Structures are given as structure tokens and as C-alpha cells.
Amino acid sequence: MENKIKEITGAKYAVAIANGTAALHILLLAAGIKPGDEVITQSLSFMATAAAIAHANGTPVFVDVDADTLGMSPKSLEHFLSEYAEVIDGECRNKKAGKVIKAVIPMHTFGHPVRINEIKNLCEAYSLMLIEDSAESLGTTYQGKHTGTFGLAGISSFNGNKTVTTGGGGMVITDDESLASKIKYLSTTAKRPHKWEFYHDEVGYNLRMPSINAAIGLAQLEYFAKTLENKRETAHLYQQFFDSMHIRFITEPDNARSNYWLNAILFDDRKQRDAFLEYSNDNGVQTRPAWTLLHTLPPYRHCQHTETPNAEYIADRLVNIPSSVRV
């Protein structure tokens, strides 16, 4: 399964992990996130993005998203960094919090790529690691390059609701050989290779993806290209329909080829959104709102965040509509 993911993404290394959250957690540990280090991510994301930072004993900082891509806004990130960050001897520090800022984690929301080049440039200017939460975007490319391969590393999720599922599963992808072997080592009990000796020279984790799950994933990856085609066709049909209804349907950005993991529409306001959620769910059609913004949730309320007008706009109006593969 690792080889197949390398083939699809173009990454040099892939390490299979028990789930996407654990993949992000162990990646952050292996990348050198130390207790108290700050990691910048977007407020509109699934809770796992922030939870993985917290599991690694890091502190999340939240910035806004772009209204069109639904992913991290380079403008909001730049605004935060220019106001609070200073680079001294190659280390980025938050002048307000007095902490080290180590990494930036943009998330490719619902499978649509963020403005990754602008984010990458900012990471380089401020000596920050770029780690992509590409949990939702297997098969999505931006300017012909697969999401998750623009920075130090990316992750995939093979949770039950994903485009490819192993029941539960995840993967780290990277071009960095030493990072990949550190992740493999940490996720498989931190055992030094030996024919019979059990010698663990760090606190290890048992986070390897079980082979049985990988076998299920591999079978699905055989027809992955067809799955993507099918999902893109569904998106196209939705787009035609919602255009005729004058309802905004979220489409892939320019220069992108999205997997359309979850299709989404935007209502005029929260009242309309709620009426639609109520009606569709009462009538046997499962629909769901966007996630509650992370910086407003109890575990993260104390965390630094920028203004989030776009995330708030989207959270008030967005609904995900059925997106399974049509048979």
C-alpha cells in the first residue's frame, strides 16, 4: 500500500499509520516539535488537525481561510507573521507569546487545494516547516503536483468516509529519507533492528497500519482512477444543477484537479442553511454543516488566533451534500 501511495502522489517515501490523526501526530514528533512549540493552522478544519498538534504537546495558532479555496489564507498567515514573528539565528519566534513557531499546517479542505505556493514562500521566509494536512485530498493535484508533496511532508486519511478507506488508516508521505525512517521507527515501537533482541531506545508507539487494513486499501487503489472520475462527474452534475438554482457550489480552484471528496454548497445565511439541514436530514438525505471553528472550541479557546471573517462566513453558510461514489 505504501508503494501504491508513492506511485499516486509522486512522494519518495510513504509510511502507513493506524489513522490520519496518528499520522499527523507522529509526523510532528519526528519533525522535532517540542513541548510548547507553536504550530500555525487554519481555524476551519476537522478537529484532528489541532488535536495532533496538541498530542505532540505543541500549541496551535489559528489563522483564517480563503473564501474561495476554503483552505488556509496566505494573506491571513502573512498578516499574523508580519505582526508577531521574528526570525533570530534561523529560529522563528512569536514576539507576543515568547514561544518558538515551528511549522505551518494548511489543510486542503474537502479535497480542494489551498494556495500552497504562497504559503510555501512564507514558510521559507520565516524558517518554518511546511506540513500539509492532505487527509482529505488523495488524488488532488495543484499545478500538476500532488497535494501533500509541496513541503516537508503530508498525510492521508483512510477513514471510513474517505475516497479510499481501510476502515481506519493513515499515511505519511515525504521526500525526506531520514524523516520517513524516523516515523517508521517511532510508529513501530522504536525498536533498534536486531535479529532477536528487543531494544527500544526511545518511547515507541504502536501505530503501524495493520496489514489486513492495508489489503483492503490496496484492493480499492486498483480502481482509484475510476473512483476519482466518478466523483468528479458527480461534482459536475451538482455544479450544473446548483448553477441553475443560483446556489453557489464550491468548485476546484484554477490550476487544480480536485478529488471532490465532499461536495459543498453555500446558502445566503445561517437560517437558510439550518432550514436545509433540517429538511434534508428529516427526509433521509444526510447533509452536514462545516465544522465548528477550532479556535472557538473549549480545548483551543486560549490559543492565539487572527480575525477569521472568511471562516465565520463559511461556517454560517456551508452544507456538505452526499458525495459517495455512484454505482
Ligand X SMILES: Cc1ncc(COP(=O)(O)O)c(C=O)c1O
Residues in contact with ligand X by the rule CB under 6 A:
19-21, 45-46, 48-49, 107, 133, 135-136, 157, 159, 170
Nearest to 59 by CA among 77, 41, 38, 35: 38
Query: Would you tell me the crossing angle of helices 116-125 and 74-84 to the nearest 10 degrees?
Result: 10
Cβ 170 to ligand X shortest distance, Å: 5
Closer residue to ligand X, CB minimum distance, 21 or 94 = 21
The residue with cell 492532505 is 134
Closer residue to ligand X, CB minimum distance, 74 or 168 = 168
Q: Are 169 and 209 in contact (CB under 8 A)?
A: yes
Cβ 156 to ligand X shortest distance, Å: 8
Element spanning 23, H or E: helix 20-30
Q: Using CB atoms, what's the residue nearest to ligand X?
A: 20
Please work out, in degrees rounded to the nearest 5, the angle formed at the alpha carbon of residue 94 by the alpha carbons of 153 and 297: 70
Closer residue to ligand X, CB minimum distance, 46 or 276 = 46
Element spanning 17, H or E: strand 13-17
| Helix residue ranges, H only, 126-223 | 177-187, 211-221
Single-letter code of the amino acid located at 199: Y
Cβ 105 to ligand X shortest distance, Å: 9
Measured between alpha carbons, how far is residue 211 from residues 11, 115, 146, 167, 259 in Å? Answer: 21, 35, 25, 12, 26
Cβ 19 to ligand X shortest distance, Å: 4
Cβ 12 to ligand X shortest distance, Å: 22
Closer residue to ligand X, CB minimum distance, 107 or 321 = 107
Closer residue to ligand X, CB minimum distance, 159 or 187 = 159
Other Cβ atoms less than 10 A from the Cβ of 246: the count is 6
Closer residue to ligand X, CB minimum distance, 49 or 94 = 49
CA 141 to chain CA mean position, Å: 14
130 forms beta bridges with 104
SS3 156: strand
Cβ 152 to ligand X shortest distance, Å: 17
Cβ 135 to ligand X shortest distance, Å: 4
Closer residue to ligand X, CB minimum distance, 44 or 122 = 44
Closer residue to ligand X, CB minimum distance, 27 or 48 = 48
Question: DSSP code of 148?
Answer: T
Nearest to 19 by CA among 132, 213, 158, 161: 158
Cβ 223 to ligand X shortest distance, Å: 21
Nearest to 15 by CA among 34, 32, 1, 36: 1
